[in-house]
Amino acid sequence: MSTLLLRLAAPLQSWGVASKFDTRDTAREPTKSGVIGLLAAALGRSRTEGLEDLNDLRFGVRIDQPGTSLRDFHTARLNEQDPPFVTTRYYLADAVFLVGLEGEDDFLQELIEALENPVFPLYLGRRSCPPAGRLVLGLRERDLPQALEEEPWQACEWFQKKNVEQIRLTIVYDAQPNEQGAFLRRDLPVSFDQRHRRYGFRMVRDIAEAIATRAPQHLRELPTGHDAMAGWGD
């Protein structure tokens, strides 16, 4: 068993957990249903195909750069005669997450190939949120918690410059049976069929882990090259 690590970064992400039609929320980190949907899209699966093999993967997230909450709105109407109505959408701006998927090596390798050559477009929670930068970090011969704890900090350089000392990062992962501190979360996809989407519960646990990897020295002392007084002359 190994763990596949992904880096989920984009200008905008949105991971709904309790969305209603007129208000679409977002969780603070990627949901299992959202990431399973991304994997299913990469594999080319239809919405009516089974998800058992994907759900069996042990799933976890490390919040490397929490981003900021952004509220937006959309207008829509059923026809030209009716007045438009407003829907509220929430996003995470400039967030970066480390996602881990623990499973059999052969299946994880299949997922890597699919993510690098996806059948359908990939997006981070909503179609308006395509991923940016490198997505697949590779396999680690570690269990899920250890892989998430040991991987170097994935935050953007500008964010690392602001947080150059040791930082504590939140890790949320699928709990083992009878694991202390676990709680229920309803984001396990049973079916993505648009006629009857269904979600089940999973047991999760979250911890705050101190990441020993600090921003590299060159990030801490990098000059900007900007002279604020240059325009004043002598």
Mean pLDDT for all residues in the chain: 88
Question: Cα(129)–Cα(140) distance, rounded to whole angstroms?
Answer: 27
Q: In the prediction, which pLDDT does 164 show?
A: 65
> Within 10 Å of residue 158's Cβ, how many Cβ atoms?
10
Single out the residue of 152, 158, 122 nearest to residue 13, CA to CA.
Answer: 122
37, two tokens = 């949907």
Rounded to the nearest angstrom, the gap between the alpha carbon of residue 211 and the centroid of all alpha carbons in its chain is 19
C-beta separation of 190 from 79 below 8 A: no
Q: What is the mean pLDDT of residues 123-142?
A: 96
Q: In the prediction, which pLDDT does 19 show?
A: 66
The CATH code of the domain at 2-71+84-220 is 3.30.70.2660
Q: In the prediction, which pLDDT does 222 show?
A: 44
Judged against a pLDDT cut of 70, whether residue 40 lies above it is answered with yes
Judged against a pLDDT cut of 60, whether residue 212 lies above it is answered with no
Residues in the chain: 234
Question: Cα(59)–Cα(144) distance, rounded to whole angstroms?
Answer: 8
Q: In the prediction, which pLDDT does 21 show?
A: 66
Q: What is the DSSP letter of 159?
A: H
Query: Largest Cα–Cα distance of the chain, in whole Å?
Result: 72
Question: Cα(127)–Cα(77) distance, rounded to whole angstroms?
Answer: 20
Q: What is the pTM of this model?
A: 0.85
Task: Tell me the pLDDT tens digit for each residue of 141-165.
Answer: 999 999 999 999 999 988 888 876 6
13, two tokens = 């992400």
Task: Tell me the pLDDT tens digit for each residue of 71-123.
Answer: 988 787 778 888 887 888 899 999 999 999 999 999 999 999 999 999 999 99
Q: In the prediction, which pLDDT does 68 show?
A: 96
Least reliable range by pLDDT among 6-20, 40-54, 110-124, 135-149: 6-20
